[in-house]
Amino acid sequence: MPERILIVGLNWIGDAIMSMPAVQAYRTENPDAHITLLVKPYMKPLWEMHPVPDEIIGLEKPGLMIPKLKSDNFDRALILPNSFRSAYLPFMARIPVRSGLRGMWRQRMLTDVVQLSGGHQSNEYFPILTPDSGALPREFPQLDIPESAYHSIETKLPFSAPFITLMPGAARGASKMWPITYFEELTHKLLKGRDESIVFAGGPGDAPACEALAEKAGDRCCSVAGKTSLKEWAALLAKSRAAVANDSGGMHLAAAVGSPIVGIYGITDPEKTGPLAERYKVIQNSNVKFRDIARNSDEARNALESILPSQVFEAILSLLEQ
């Protein structure tokens, strides 16, 4: 009988995408296992595009979740987040083997405490999922976008011309956001003497800024921020000639679907959270690099403001010429 595996997934698009190489390696090592992903409901569409999960469960309140996990008779829980609740649920569900990182007062809830590895964030998930996979090739994230998403995104674009996607938002806030005025200047540079149109994309919180940018730039621009499902967003990026984003989930999504991507970094560390892709450019002027930063950091904003639109423009041209 196939081993039943529960993988407790991560809560942010970028983090989830960075965990995909390790999830894929687990499938390579365990081709017959029945793998279930436990994720917050808004993350389900992302993993529905991924080839590994046999089942995806949306996270509910513990009172509902624990009986569900018990009834599924999992043999093993592989816990990717470093949070208390992510370990608490498998522990209370009596899943016999529970692997994850120490921390957050949860060590006693784990049967296998894994040491944090160094390097890129994607490396951190291999010791949890495939501790003996050192010889395995580390693949890029894989996403299979449904045709329905391609068809529906086409109906939301007012033009059929080739386009470049700009994503000015970041869930972490101002400390990761290149100035909006710089995105405006970059837009004008891209429209002048080139054939591509511009699409602004992001979540609902990015919609006001994206709408304003599109209105200022004219008929060859539009905004779909807050108007797409996650699968449509992926399809949009897959159709883009290139994309520009802050250090954000949108950047990682663009990388995962194969769009050439320019990532703009203030003082976060691209060696830890850079795009997992073949065609990308990272723009960073700061020698100061941190993995975690405050939401409102003057140092981060100053570093972002030092990156001129001309730098990003040249990086896009370089990618388009490859």
The CATH number of the domain holding residue 229 is 3.40.50.2000
Q: Which residue has the tokens 């959270």?
A: 273
Q: Could you tell me if 160 and 236 lie in one domain?
A: yes
**Predicted local confidence at residue 133, as pLDDT:** 66
Work out how many domains the chain is built from and give that number.
2
Does residue 109 sit within a domain? Answer: yes
Q: Could you tell me if 96 and 237 lie in one domain?
A: no
Q: Could you tell me if 197 and 311 lie in one domain?
A: yes
**Predicted local confidence at residue 134, as pLDDT:** 61
Q: Could you tell me if 184 and 269 lie in one domain?
A: yes
Cβ neighbourhood burial of 246 (10 Å; 0-12, 13-18, 19+): buried
Does residue 68 sit within a domain? Answer: yes
Angstrom distance (rounded) from CA 214 to CA 166:
11
- Domain residues for the domain of 163 are 148-321
Q: Could you tell me if 116 and 223 lie in one domain?
A: no
- The amino acid occupying position 249 is G
Q: Could you tell me if 239 and 110 lie in one domain?
A: no
First to last CA, the chain: 48
**Predicted local confidence at residue 80, as pLDDT:** 97
Does residue 134 sit within a domain? Answer: no
Does residue 135 sit within a domain? Answer: no
With contact defined as beta carbons under 8 Å apart, do 246 and 178 qualify? Answer: yes
**Predicted local confidence at residue 79, as pLDDT:** 97
- Alpha-carbon distance values, 120 to 116, 219, 272, 274 (Å): 11, 41, 4, 8
Q: Could you tell me if 19 and 156 lie in one domain?
A: no
Q: Could you tell me if 82 and 199 lie in one domain?
A: no
- pTM of the predicted structure, to 2 decimals: 0.95
Q: Could you tell me if 187 and 286 lie in one domain?
A: yes
Angstrom distance (rounded) from CA 44 to CA 160:
30
Does residue 143 sit within a domain? Answer: no
With contact defined as beta carbons under 8 Å apart, do 168 and 206 qualify? Answer: yes
pLDDT in tens, the chain (322 residues): 899 999 999 999 999 999 999 999 999 999 999 999 999 999 999 999 999 999 999 998 888 999 999 999 999 999 999 999 999 999 999 999 999 998 778 888 999 999 888 889 999 999 999 987 665 567 999 999 999 999 999 999 999 889 999 999 987 778 899 999 999 999 999 999 889 999 999 999 999 999 999 999 989 999 999 999 999 999 999 999 999 999 999 999 999 999 999 999 999 999 999 999 999 999 999 998 887 787 888 899 999 999 999 999 999 999 998 7
Q: Could you tell me if 237 and 179 lie in one domain?
A: yes
Q: Where are the beta strands (DSSP E) in the chain?
A: 4-8, 34-39, 55-58, 76-79, 97-101, 112-114, 163-167, 197-200, 221-223, 242-246, 261-264, 280-283
Does residue 171 sit within a domain? Answer: yes
Does residue 173 sit within a domain? Answer: yes
Angstrom distance (rounded) from CA 111 to CA 283:
42
Does residue 139 sit within a domain? Answer: no
**Predicted local confidence at residue 92, as pLDDT:** 96
Pairing of strands 55-58, 76-79: unpaired
